[in-house]
Amino acid sequence: MKQWLSFIFIMISLIWLTPNLVHANKAVIQVDHLNIRSGPSLSHSIIGKAHNQETYHVVDQKSDWVQIQGNDKKGWVAGYLVKMKQDQSVTSKVDHLRVRSEPGVNSKVRGYLMKNEQATKQDQQGEWVLIKSDNASGWVHSDYLSTYTQKSPTENQTKTTSSLGEITVTAAILNVRSQRSTNSSIVAQVSKGKTFPYIAESNGWYQIKLDDSKTGWVAGWLVTNDDAGDSTASSSDVTKITLQFNGTNIRTGPSSNTTVLASGHKGEQFNVLGKENQWYKIQYQGKEAYVAGWIVKEETSSSDADAPAPSQPTKHGSGGLDGKTIVIDAGHGGFDPGAIGISGSYEKTLTLQTAQQLKRTLEQNGAQVIMTRSNDSYVSLSARTIISNASQADLFISVHYNSYPQSASATGISTYYYHSNAKSLASNIQSGMRRTTELRDRGIRHGDFHVLRNNNKPAVLLELGFLSNSKEEQTVSSANYQKKVSQGIKSGLENYFNKSS
């Protein structure tokens, strides 16, 4: 049997030309029932199946094998049975460039691109280009687009190509990008332990020189600055640091690969014990811990001694949620779009918009909020629960939108819980949303979801409407609906905490 399978693989490899695996960030499956294996060879066990035209994120590449990841699937597939793709970035030449639902001037306008705003090119039909951006996805006329090219260094960046020092890669595979953004195109990939000279540093990113004399940008939190060494002496003037973001990881060591001790909140302040590379060593609950230096605010010994030092997270408002901390989880993200609506809306975009509106609503009513993601990035299910479990939050809310293409008439909102300690929370939130949105009440249900099952906080997952229903998709995509549903969740939370006190 193995010999017969090997023969099939050889024959298929003669039919398909082996693609260039370098610099691709997506893999499109070219056959049905493709084996996903635990390692990069035929001798490794089969752990799943991939199917024709499914698209996956590329994690790693070894010889003729590609490691892919998407949804709950992760493993190795034969490289000659996939088509490697690299997203092309384009920018708008004008302000308020219309993004349309179909390739034509008479189709519905979904949104706009501003001048120099970057988007990802996904397809093209004649003079019309299908794009995806943070603000809108749809069709735009090619006359108003230009291929993205890296801008010249700003005045704040170095204009010399001489090396400022060296960095060493700490991630298994690190993307080298065309600009200082995770949304920019990938120009190369480098592996853990490789050292490169850098010629510029800006906003937590390093511009490095590759072996072929090309340059690109790498994330500073995935490398170490070899010239910094143990920089405790150079940071001796820094006495305290203040966290700038909710959900900041507090770790056991000076690396993003070390264990997360806890999740910090915006405004929390810690005494500095020292600095290693770009990480501050702090005093946390009587122990030594580390926080990334590029996401904190430093306070030196020369700072105003009369300035108040907050010992608790900064309050954003007052109301019935004072003193409560809530984790908001925007479902899907990055290469995982979630459900796709009738008109082409992405669940991942709507969940992020709704999560951000919910964050504002809860903070205005006194709550502290921790976001599992605050941009269009992929966060694994396990990472979402780790953020929740490591925090001091009171509860966890995962935001989703529903889809049932088999029945376009399906409508309504529902709330899922797994552990019995979250049933009351689910009931109160569902009641609050029902009153403010007036959508069909599908009730509360027991749901065996990873983010609920593996959560040690009272946790719920909200399905806030059906994108497979054209009318409901239009409703839930509006800012007005997202404000209403956020108010309903807030009311439900207030009732829940009042009953629990």
The CA–CA distances, whole Å, from 73 to 38, 381, 386, 398 equal 11, 12, 20, 21
> Where does the pLDDT of residue 221 fall: very low under 50, low under 70, confident under 90, or very high at 90 and above?
low
2 CA to centre of own chain? 40
Residue type, 71: N
| pLDDT score for 218 | 84
| pLDDT score for 86 | 65
Q: Which of 35-39, 333-337, 439-443 has the highest mean pLDDT?
A: 439-443
Q: pLDDT by residue (tens digit) across 474-487?
A: 999 998 999 999 99
**Per residue in 211-227, is it b (16+ CB within 10 Å) or e — as a string?**
eeeebbbbbbbbbbbee
| Residue 157 in this model has a pLDDT that exceeds 80 | no
What residues are labeled active site? Answer: 463
- Which domains, from first to last, does the chain contain? 2-85 (2.30.30.40), 88-147 (2.30.30.40), 165-225 (2.30.30.40), 233-300 (2.30.30.40), 325-500 (3.40.630.40)
Residue type, 124: Q
| Residue 142 in this model has a pLDDT that exceeds 60 | yes
The CA–CA distances, whole Å, from 122 to 139, 252, 253, 353 equal 10, 41, 40, 22
| pLDDT score for 465 | 95
Cβ–Cβ < 8 Å for 74, 58: no
- H/E stretch holding 413 reads strand 413-417
How many residues does this entry show for the chain? 501
Q: pLDDT by residue (tens digit) across 241-288?
A: 888 766 778 888 877 667 888 878 777 888 888 877 667 888 887 788
| pLDDT score for 494 | 92
| pLDDT score for 204 | 64
The helix/strand/coil state of 482 is helix
User: Average pLDDT over the chain, rounded to whole?
Assistant: 78
Q: pLDDT by residue (tens digit) across 13-27?
A: 433 333 333 345 678
Task: Choose among 379, 285, 362, 290: nearest CA to 326.
Answer: 362
**E-only strand ranges, 165-286:** 165-169, 173-177, 186-191, 195-202, 205-209, 215-219, 223-225, 238-243, 248-251, 260-264, 269-276, 279-284
Q: Tokens for 19? A: 């693609």
Q: pLDDT by residue (tens digit) across 328-383?
A: 999 998 888 899 888 888 999 999 999 999 999 999 888 999 999 988 888 888 88
| pLDDT score for 316 | 45
**DSSP string of 126-148, one letter each residue:** TTEEEEE-SS-EEEEEGGGEEE-
DSSP conformational letter for 43: T
Could you give the angle at the alpha carbon of 225 between the alpha carbons of 223 and 228, nearest 5°? Answer: 155
| Residue 303 in this model has a pLDDT that exceeds 90 | no
Task: Choose among 52, 17, 60, 16: nearest CA to 33.
Answer: 52
Q: Which of 124-133, 179-188, 231-240, 487-496 has the highest mean pLDDT?
A: 487-496
| Residue 214 in this model has a pLDDT that exceeds 90 | no
Q: pLDDT by residue (tens digit) across 53-101?
A: 888 888 887 767 888 887 777 898 887 787 777 667 788 877 677 888 8
> Where does the pLDDT of residue 496 fall: very low under 50, low under 70, confident under 90, or very high at 90 and above?
very high
| Residue 6 in this model has a pLDDT that exceeds 70 | no
> Where does the pLDDT of residue 225 fall: very low under 50, low under 70, confident under 90, or very high at 90 and above?
low
> Where does the pLDDT of residue 458 fall: very low under 50, low under 70, confident under 90, or very high at 90 and above?
very high
Q: pLDDT by residue (tens digit) across 104-127?
A: 877 888 887 777 777 888 777 777
